[in-house]
Structure 1
Amino acid sequence: MKKDPPVRFADVADYLARHRSQLTRHWLRAVGQRMHIRPVSRDATVRLINQLPQLFDELCALLRDAGPTDIAVRAQHDARVHATERWRQGFALDELYLELHLLHQCVQTCARDYYTLAPSPDSQTATRDTIEQFFSDVIHGAIVQWHAQHDRRVSEAFAERDLALAAQARSDARLRIAAAAAGLGIFEWDPETDAAVWENDRMYEITGQPRERGALSAREFVELVVDPGDRESLRNALNAAITSSEDFHATFRIRTVQTGTPNVLEVSGRFLPDASGSRRVLVGTMADVTNRVSAEEALRQADRRKDVFLATLAHELRNPLAPILNAAHLLRQTDRSHDQLDWLQGLVERHATHLSHLIDDLLDLSRITAGKITLRMEVFSIWSAIDRAIEINAPAAAQHAHRLEVVDSRTDPLFVRGDSTRVTQVLANLLDNAIKYTDEGGHIRLSAARDDPYVTIAVEDNGIGMDPAAIPSLFEIFEQAPTALESTRTGLGIGLSVARALIAMHGGAVSASSDGPGKGSRFVVRLPLCDAPTRASQSSDADRAATAASRRVLIVDDNHDAALSLAMILDQHEVRTANSGEVALAIAQKFNPDVVLLDLGLPDMSGYEVAKRLREFAAPSRPVLIALTGYGQPEDRRRTREAGFDYHLVKPARPEDVVSLLATAF
């Protein structure tokens, strides 16, 4: 059982309780005079006044009715609570100790005041010792709590540091993975010492520096790797970045260390504090951008070629327009002789044909680029294509007094499988180039020979020749031999590109050679040979077309001149013209045409709609429908066929083709 403390202790406790407010004021005054860190607000002061009396109450309980062991435990608990709260407010251990020490002094002073007035001071020493022991326990408990709090904070700091290091390691790993995926080298360079650290193998791969030799300093890198033409600009850029501490970025040429391979590098970096924080180092990435720079240069070259092409196209289109306009002016004069009229007719036809060829080349280029060329495959003798190509170009060769020699070895038929029209187009294009780039009276030679498993067709001339270095680019789109724009030998620069693509579609190849300017040129086409056909090809309808009987023909075209001129060509037939869909339908109801030549692009409705309505009311038999359009791709022909058209002609249609079609359509 617990023993009751002496009554004199209870009297001391009552005295202390009665003077609690005065004691607290003395203590707060002492704290305010001695403490360096004070409560930062009124709320903090209130919390301090409300908290420390907990210790005061424990002391009074000790003096009244509790055992010493219980009092010590409770005092230590309250001390820990007090210490935690004060540390939360920013107090340190020495300040907490001073705070408790001042409270201890105030309590002892108040106890002495009691014994000054007490009738029996015999217990003063015991009271003082009890108070001393109480505050000793309190301070010991606060110190224990401080150590526990300090250890916890250290542990938390270490845990936070470990988390931060782990996060940094993950971030570094992600950076390295991203750099490896992007092909980036990572480096660090110290401007003060010129020392460099290469963080990954990619730096060695980009520069060609053997890994066993280690990283190059900036000075070594500039002197050993950077192209001499870029060294000075790179040094200036580095010095400017060091002076301004701004982000560094440079693109420059190099020669790799061991092989001397030319490459283009791009470096980006930022100045950051080093590990010690005492100075700044450049941390950056290095990338091999050779392919990108080459692609950009190729795009710039293509853009320049495109500009030249557009200028040349305008030139080529205007050239045939001038004689056509002149011929139109001369035809208005009625006193022209028959020979003059024949000459004017030939002039207009030649230049109109030239314009048509230009448009065909442009359309072929578009179709090849889009992959929409369809070949009509058949087995034919290469000599038939050669004959047609010569027939096409013979007038131009004669005009320039060229001697056109054909090495004829027709004892060997040389069959190939392909689109005879397209092969003829290629050979005619090569002959046209030979004529264009050979001076008056020159010599052009065409030959064909077996070179199993190929047939080789060669077109040679003694014309202006070519620079051998420029030959590889001649087959690129929009590329042509350099000539003055005003020269009559200019072209669109797409003929050879179209020829190469068409022959490649046949499984062959086109090549060119020349001994140099002024020494002529030689173009060679190689096509795979095949076996002869099992039976002779039948003659085409066009070859055996008979003279057509007179037909009722309706021409529908919103181009008034085109409609009337075609009507004059078909004057052996009974012809009506219309410039819109509604007018055409009205004429058809009364005229009942046998044939309708129908433009698809009319101002009021499409040619497809006109064709549909013609099929609905025409009786007793519907007319033959022939589409006239500037669109001639396979999908365009399929659409007209599905719309009910019987034939599809691409503008400008040759008059003889229209006449032949009318003769064979019935």
Structure 2
Amino acid sequence: MMTESRRIDREVAHHLLQRRGQLTRRWLRAVRKQMHIRPVSRDAVVGLINQLPLLFDELCASVGEGAEEADTMRAGRDARRHGSERWRQGFALDELYLELDLLQRCVQACVREYFAGAQSRVSQAATHEAIERFFSDAIRGAIGQFQAHQDRRVNDAMGQRDLAVKRQRNSDERLRMAAEAAGLGIFEWDPETDGAVWENDRMYQITGQPRTEGALNIGDFIERVVHPDDAARVRSELKAALTSLLDFQTIFRIRRRSDGALRFLAASGRFMPASSGVGQILVGTLADVTQRVAADEATKEADRRKDIFLATLAHELRNPLAPILTAAHLLAKGSVPAAELRWIHDVVERHARHLAHLIDDLLDVSRITAGKIRLRKEVFNVWSAIDRAIEMNASAAAQRGHRLEVATSAQSALFVYGDLTRITQIVSNLLDNAIKYTNAGGDIRLAASASYSHVSITLQDNGMGMRPELIPSLFDLFEQASADGQPGKSGLGIGLSVARSLVSMHGGTITASSEGLGKGSIFTVSLPLCDAPVEVSAARVESDPVIPAVCKVLIVDDNEDAALSLAKILDDHDVRVATCGFEAVEIAREFGPKVVLLDLGLPDISGHEVATRLRKQQGGSDMLLVALTGYGQPEDRERTKATGFNHHLVKPVRIEEIFSILNCASKPDSL
């Protein structure tokens, strides 16, 4: 009986193997009918077919061998592999159970078909029990493996979530640290609840809100902190951002609650989903941008002053050019009476000197800014600088009918250690400023006195005065005082700035004061006092220029008008003119000049190259080379000296200086 039973089992297993294809197709049709089993694509079907053989082979082996324990273990192992693969493909637990259950039903039906056609009357119950036991073990193993994979997936998801939360916390902490380092306050506002969270102390520091009173919501913040003039605008911008859910950015003023200080704040925010999943919250930052706003305003103000300066410069340059051109027109009329000719001469000279003064002021600003001003210091009586400044400005004061008073009663010697020319320039700038801003017939008073270790030079006028709030910026570059209702005054607005810089270079100070518009001004320069020199030389008395004896002069300048006009002035000498470098070298070779007045900026070769070539000519070492140029900075003088020039004259040159050089050149052994 036992032998017959095992024979039947082998035949059943053989029957199943022979109908594997048919059984597989039947199973797949059953699977397709269950619409909730996924996936149902062609690739998924191929996957099912590829997984079935192992499981099916184990089933047949189990039935054919009588379902021994080892076979059951293999079936469970194959079923677990099947469950793992189905999990990878995205199956749910009930889908896996149904899939294996359908396979069991198909196998049972195939077995029943075998017994229906078999001649043997052996009971088929044992075979069905073996198949049912096989699938029961297989389903449990597959489901166990499936659940194990799901548990691992859940654990992995939980671990990834915990890692993501940790990373988010670290990111938030880094963001807070960056915000703290940047001086940013961080806040959140929930429009639904009107609740606010201030996430760091910087919010309280910026706004001056007491920490004990907690955070302010948007409404309270605008009402209590935002400047009243900006409150309506901030509300409108916030409402627009809330409606559109676009980023919110604005700059506004506040009165800091702790001390009432006016500050400029920049708010920036973005709407993000609330943690509850309902609605949006505004997450943003708050920054104190007072210094940035002030810097922007200062830049705009500097640009405004530069624009005014350029317009003023054009005006100031045109003013002296107009009378010079008029004088030229008068000279073109022909015969001019001697008195009128003298007047024309004075007009041209006065306005030409004014142009030169404007250029000197501009150069001084450039040199001071670049740190290229060099002081030639000596010990001198400060009254020498005052006397020179008065001499330079006396004519302008007389034209406006000013009464210029100098405190002569106490003119004791007041010695300072400094640059006489620059101190003279300081006093001259102040005196020129007083003349400009004092109405015709006004009074100007100059005084100097010693106090402790300093000398004070005071200049007082009864002119237009100044508004007190303008005094701190009076010495800024391009700044000009102006009275309400009065026309603009002449000048570039750089004289006082230059004066302050020069005074500072001497270790002194300069201050200004006024009781208001129409009440005059007082300027005070304070310089360090020093001891008198052991021997004070008498003031040099300048004599009238001595007309030199006739000598050979070569004038080299590509500006033909300048060269020919200078030649006419020097017509008592034997003069030749050249307008380029090569021409100058050729003329000098034939002419043999004693003095060469040489421009440096020539069209072909530079004046330095011309000087070098002249020195190499026969008799070149005996020539007196005079650089005649518009370049007058210290490095320019050093270069001409190194090239071999004897003198360096800056245009426009005083004719007296040229006469003096020619006078020296005409003397024996002058070189």
Q: With structure 2 as the length reference, what TM-score do the two structures score?
A: 0.94
Give how far 1:104 is off.
0.8
1:441 aligns with 2:446: no
Residue identity opposite 1:328 in structure 2: A
Give how far 1:660 is off.
2.2
Tell me, in whole angstroms, the C-alpha distance in 1 between the residues paired with 2:556 and 2:172: 75
Give how far 1:567 is off.
1.9
Q: Which residue of 1 aligns with 2:301?
A: 301
Deviations 1:137-159 (A, max 9, x none): 10110121012101110121122
Tell me, in whole angstroms, the C-alpha distance in 2 between the residues paired with 1:226 and 1:636: 58
**More displaced, 60-69 or 242-251?**
60-69
In structure 2, the CA distance between the partners of 1:333 and 1:106, relative to structure 1 (3 Å rule), is: closer
Q: Is the 8 A contact 1:585 1:610 kept in 2?
A: yes
Q: Is the 8 A contact 2:66 2:130 kept in 1?
A: no
Give how far 1:187 is off.
0.9
Q: Which residue of 1 aligns with 2:126?
A: 126
Q: Which residue of 1 aligns with 2:324?
A: 324
Give how far 1:66 is off.
7.3
1:360-375 to structure 2, matched below 5 A, reads: 360-375=360-375
Q: Which residue of 2 aligns with 1:274?
A: 274
Tell me, in whole angstroms, the C-alpha distance in 1 between the residues paired with 2:627 and 2:542: 18
In structure 2, the CA distance between the partners of 1:394 and 1:538, relative to structure 1 (3 Å rule), is: closer
Q: Is the 8 A contact 2:249 2:266 kept in 1?
A: yes
Q: Which residue of 1 aligns with 2:8?
A: 8
Residue identity opposite 1:244 in structure 2: S
1:104 aligns with 2:100: no
Q: Is the 8 A contact 1:542 1:660 kept in 2?
A: no
Q: Which residue of 1 aligns with 2:494?
A: 494
Give how far 1:253 is off.
0.7
1:58-137 to structure 2, matched below 5 A, reads: 58-65=58-65, 68-137=68-137
Q: Which residue of 1 aligns with 2:530?
A: 530
Give how far 1:222 is off.
0.4
Between the aligned residues of both structures, percent identity stands at: 60
In structure 2, the CA distance between the partners of 1:20 and 1:594, relative to structure 1 (3 Å rule), is: same
Tell me, in whole angstroms, the C-alpha distance in 2 between the residues paired with 1:445 and 1:592: 56
Tell me, in whole angstroms, the C-alpha distance in 1 between the residues paired with 2:43 and 2:569: 110
Tell me, in whole angstroms, the C-alpha distance in 2 between the residues paired with 1:485 and 1:606: 52
Tell me, in whole angstroms, the C-alpha distance in 1 between the residues paired with 2:188 and 2:620: 91
Residue identity opposite 1:111 in structure 2: V
Deviations 1:63-115 (A, max 9, x none): 23476221121111111111122122221111111111111111112222222
Tell me, in whole angstroms, the C-alpha distance in 2 between the residues paired with 1:6 and 1:605: 124
**More displaced, 480-489 or 130-139?**
480-489
Q: Which residue of 1 aligns with 2:585?
A: 585
In structure 2, the CA distance between the partners of 1:136 and 1:628, relative to structure 1 (3 Å rule), is: same
Tell me, in whole angstroms, the C-alpha distance in 1 between the residues paired with 2:119 and 2:374: 130
Q: Which residue of 1 aligns with 2:407?
A: 407
Tell me, in whole angstroms, the C-alpha distance in 2 between the residues paired with 1:276 and 1:622: 99
Tell me, in whole angstroms, the C-alpha distance in 2 between the residues paired with 1:324 and 1:464: 30
Give how far 1:620 is off.
5.7
Residue identity opposite 1:252 in structure 2: F
Give how far 1:5 is off.
8.3
Tell me, in whole angstroms, the C-alpha distance in 1 between the residues paired with 2:420 and 2:348: 28
Tell me, in whole angstroms, the C-alpha distance in 1 between the residues paired with 2:465 and 2:43: 101
Tell me, in whole angstroms, the C-alpha distance in 2 between the residues paired with 1:658 and 1:193: 89
**More displaced, 64-73 or 145-154?**
64-73
Q: With structure 1 as the length reference, what TM-score do the two structures score?
A: 0.95
Q: Which residue of 1 aligns with 2:20?
A: 20
Tell me, in whole angstroms, the C-alpha distance in 1 between the residues paired with 2:541 and 2:615: 26
Deviations 1:16-57 (A, max 9, x none): 112222222221121111241344432321221121121111
Tell me, in whole angstroms, the C-alpha distance in 1 between the residues paired with 2:103 and 2:537: 126
Give how far 1:442 is off.
2.2
Q: Which residue of 1 aligns with 2:153?
A: 153
Q: Which residue of 2 aligns with 1:204?
A: 204
Tell me, in whole angstroms, the C-alpha distance in 1 between the residues paired with 2:296 and 2:620: 65
In structure 2, the CA distance between the partners of 1:167 and 1:643, relative to structure 1 (3 Å rule), is: farther
Partner SS, residue 516 of structure 1: coil
Q: How many residues align?
A: 664
Tell me, in whole angstroms, the C-alpha distance in 1 between the residues paired with 2:543 and 2:362: 29
1:284 aligns with 2:289: no
1:47 aligns with 2:47: yes
Residue identity opposite 1:421 in structure 2: T
Give how far 1:555 is off.
1.1
Tell me, in whole angstroms, the C-alpha distance in 1 between the residues paired with 2:619 and 2:533: 45
Q: Is the 8 A contact 1:541 1:664 kept in 2?
A: no
Tell me, in whole angstroms, the C-alpha distance in 2 between the residues paired with 1:645 and 1:541: 28
Tell me, in whole angstroms, the C-alpha distance in 1 between the residues paired with 2:361 and 2:280: 63
Tell me, in whole angstroms, the C-alpha distance in 2 between the residues paired with 1:160 and 1:611: 85
Give how far 1:399 is off.
2.3
Q: Which residue of 1 aligns with 2:248?
A: 248
1:312 aligns with 2:322: no
Q: Is the 8 A contact 2:31 2:37 kept in 1?
A: no
Give how far 1:572 is off.
3.6
In structure 2, the CA distance between the partners of 1:277 and 1:662, relative to structure 1 (3 Å rule), is: farther
Give how far 1:12 is off.
1.5
Tell me, in whole angstroms, the C-alpha distance in 2 between the residues paired with 1:621 and 1:286: 76
Q: Structure 2: which 5+ residue stretches go unaligned?
A: none
Tell me, in whole angstroms, the C-alpha distance in 2 between the residues paired with 1:620 and 1:250: 75
Tell me, in whole angstroms, the C-alpha distance in 1 between the residues paired with 2:207 and 2:488: 51
**More displaced, 563-572 or 156-165?**
563-572
Give how far 1:439 is off.
2.5
1:645 aligns with 2:645: yes
Tell me, in whole angstroms, the C-alpha distance in 2 between the residues paired with 1:283 and 1:603: 68
Q: Is the 8 A contact 2:67 2:130 kept in 1?
A: no
Tell me, in whole angstroms, the C-alpha distance in 2 between the residues paired with 1:646 and 1:249: 68
Partner SS, residue 597 of structure 1: strand
Give how far 1:638 is off.
2.2
Give how far 1:546 is off.
6.4
Tell me, in whole angstroms, the C-alpha distance in 2 between the residues paired with 1:451 and 1:538: 26
Tell me, in whole angstroms, the C-alpha distance in 2 between the residues paired with 1:561 and 1:627: 18
Partner SS, residue 6 of structure 1: helix
Q: Is the 8 A contact 1:225 1:255 kept in 2?
A: yes
Q: Is the 8 A contact 2:188 2:197 kept in 1?
A: yes
CA RMSD of aligned residues (A): 2.3
Give how far 1:481 is off.
1.3
